[in-house]
Amino acid sequence: MEQKIPADEFQQYRPLLFSIAYRMLGSASEAEDMIQETYLRSLQSSPQAEIRSLKSYLTTIITRLCLDHLKSARVQREDYIGPWLPEPLLTPNPEDLALQTLEQRESLSTAFLLLAERLTPYERAVFLLHEVFAYRYEEIAEIVGKSPVNCRQLFHQAKTHLTKHQARFTPSQEEQQRLMERFLSASQQGDMQALVTMLEQDVTLWADGGGKVYAAPYPISGQEQVLRVWNGLLRKSPSWYPNVHLTIASINGTTGILVWSNETLLSVLTSEMTEGRISTLYEVVNPDKLAHIQGQAQPLH
């Protein structure tokens, strides 16, 4: 089959396509699948001369693929065992994943990706394309196959819903990093008193094992309960796994913690902050969701 779009031109837009697909789906592995399918679809396109803007053309293909995938994924999520969390992603280079603006950074966070799950697929697509990637409503209308007026309505519906549930306090990246570094240090030293000062009274721990690895099947709330679980993991893990150690990393645009056993990644921990304390901890232990980030982290580990 004749290749109508040169591979090097497609590769120019790969970071953008991944950025859109990951935020749409909350999964790096699924985002990679969408990119591959987008490339295959682009090869079956009409002659290149008919494509006015390659960026818009590829964005349209991947957005529609993600919309179709989200509709079927909702059924699969209902059967998911325990809390569902997005697949974590290393973000050491802000330019790689569209992380330059506050909106771009926030839209990659675990908290945002969880909130976005409450939106309809079209609300999610329109909100991301307009708020995060600065597409005009007229462009978005062509991409999602709806009118500009409808797209405006979808955007405002999404914005209202997200604003209602979003945390009012957004810490700076420096604050987030300092707190997580202190959390790591206190965890390594087993200093429970120090950890108490870092956690909100009503802190919540969400753990995603997906039925593959044991994790609490429901969120654990309260400072005492969360500390008991975290302390138990810190004490018991060395007897379960060899050479357990923790490292700091940039994960989903914020500072998080990677838990290792030798070269194997056991879990990824990210957090939300409220006025200088941790209000939510997110831990991904499902090995299926750690494969991509382990591949990213291995050369750096």
Cα–Cα dist 220/222, whole Å: 7
What does the block give as tokens for 288?
A: 């299926």
Helices (H), 79-136: 102-106, 110-116, 121-127
Helix (H, G, I), strand (E, B) or coil at 150: helix
Instruction: Label residues 46-70 b or e (16+ Cβ within 10 Å = b).
Output: eeeeebeebeebbbbbbbbbbbebb
What is the four-CA torsion angle of 232, 234, 238, 243, rounded to 10 degrees? 170
In this chain, the answer to whether the domains covering 7-164 and 173-300 adopt an identical fold is: no
pTM above 0.85, yes or no: yes
pLDDT value at residue 3: 45
Cβ atoms of residues 292 and 216 within 8 Å: no
Note the Cα 63 to chain centre separation in Å: 17
Name the fold adopted by 7-164. Answer: Butyryl-CoA Dehydrogenase, subunit A; domain 3 (1.20.140)
CA torsion sign, 235 to 241 to 246 to 250?
Answer: negative
Note down pLDDT in tens along the chain; length 301 residues: 444 677 888 999 999 999 999 999 999 999 999 999 999 998 876 555 566 788 999 999 999 999 999 988 765 677 788 899 999 999 987 666 666 777 888 888 999 999 999 999 999 999 999 999 999 999 999 999 999 999 999 999 999 999 887 765 567 888 889 999 999 999 989 899 999 999 999 999 999 999 898 888 899 999 999 999 998 888 888 888 899 899 999 999 899 999 999 999 999 999 999 888 999 999 999 999 999 999 988 766 6
Domain residue spans of the chain: 7-164, 173-300
287/275 Cα distance (integer angstroms) = 32
Residues 6+ apart with CB under 8 A from 67: 24, 121, 122, 125, 144
**Rounded CA separation 259/177 (Å):** 17
First-to-last alpha carbon distance for the chain, in angstroms, is: 42
* The CATH classification of domain 173-300, taken from the options 3.40.50.720, 3.90.1720.10, 3.30.70.2740, 3.10.450.50: 3.10.450.50
Question: Which tokens belong to 75?
Answer: 């059924």
Rg over alpha carbons for the chain, rounded to the nearest Å, is 20
CB burial string 267-298: b at 16+ within 10 A, e below: bbbbbbbbeebbbbbbbbbbbebbebbbebbe
